Chains A and B, each alone.
Chain A
Amino acid sequence: DGGITQSPKYLFRKEGQNVTLSCEQNLNHDAMYWYRQDPGQGLRLIYYSQIVNDFQKGDIAEGYSVSREKKESFPLTVTSAQKNPTAFYLCASSPRGVATDTQYFGPGTRLTVL
C-alpha cells in the first residue's frame, strides 16, 4: 500500500526538550513538505525539500530543523528554540514539486508541550 506515514500520532514533551517527528513515503515522490496547523489558521509551511540532501526554509522555519538523507524520509526536529511548539504537524509529498503537482498528506502528529 503506497502512502505517507507519520509517527507518532500523539507526542508529549516537556518544555526545553528537542523532539523529532518522523515522516516516510513510499510513493517515489521527489518533493516533501512539513506544515504546521493551529486552530483557526491555515496550514503554514515550515520546510520543504525537492531533492535528496537539499531543503529550503518555509515561512515559519525558526526553531525547526530537517534533514533529507534519503528520498523516502524527511524527519522534522522541533527544537527548544521554538516558542509555541504545541500544534498539529503535517507532512506531505508531491511527485516533482511543479505547478500542477498535487500534494498528499500523512495522518499528522499532534504535539503537546507540557
Chain B
Amino acid sequence: RKEVEQDPGPFNVPEGATVAFNCTYSNSASQSFFWYRQDCRKEPKLLMSVYSSGNEDGRFTAQLNRASQYISLLIRDSKLSDSATYLCVVNLLTTSGTYKYIFGTGTRLKVLA
C-alpha cells in the first residue's frame, strides 16, 4: 500500500463547478498535512496547510480526518486557472527523529470553458 494515495484523475469539470479531491495516508504518525499545486513542467507551490480540523482560503477548503486518515480539498466556483495537478503531502516523523515529506502522485484537474 502506498503511504499517500490519490486518485490520479483527470477530473474534467466546467467553469463554475465545485470539485473535491480526497487523499488517504497510511501512517498514523503523520504530523502535518499540505496541499500543493503543480502546473505542467513547473515546481510545486504550496496551496494550503491543513493542521487540525481543516481550514478555508477563499474558494478552497481543506479538511482533515485523523480517525479515517484522509484529507480532502474542495474547490468552489472553479476557474480555468485552477487547471493543474494537486499534490497531497504528509509530513512524517521518521525513526531518526527528522521530518520527511511524503508526496502523493497528484490529482490532475482540468477546468473547461
Contacts and interface: CB of A to CB of B under 8 A. Distances in A.
B4 to A, nearest CB: 7
A56 B42 contact: no
A43 B85 CA distance: 13
10 contacts: A40-B8, A42-B87, A43-B44, A43-B101, A90-B43, A100-B32, A101-B99, A102-B34, A105-B44, A110-B41
A42 B43 contact: no
Contacts of B98: 48, 50, 56, 97
B105 interface: yes
Contacts of B87: 42-43
A56 B32 contact: no
In this complex, which of B44, B46, B105, B106 has the most chain A Cβ atoms within 10 angstroms of its Cβ?
B44
In this complex, which of A43, A44, A102, A105 has the most chain B Cβ atoms within 10 angstroms of its Cβ?
A43
Contact of A102 (B41, B42, B49, B104): B49
Interface string B1-17: 00010001000000000
A40 B49 contact: no
Interface of A: 33, 40-45, 48, 50, 56, 58, 88, 90, 97-108, 110
In this complex, which of B4, B41, B96 has the most chain A Cβ atoms within 10 angstroms of its Cβ?
B41
Contacts of B100: 45, 48, 58
Nearest to A99: B31
Interface of B: 4, 8, 31-32, 34, 41-46, 49, 51, 87, 91, 93, 96, 98-106
A60 to B, nearest CB: 13
B32 A90 contact: no
Contacts of A99: 31-32, 91, 93, 99
Nearest to A58: B100
A101 B103 contact: no
A75 B106 CA distance: 27
A103 B101 contact: yes
A108 B42 contact: yes
A97 B96 CA distance: 13
A43 B103 contact: yes
Contact of B51 (A98, A100, A110): A100
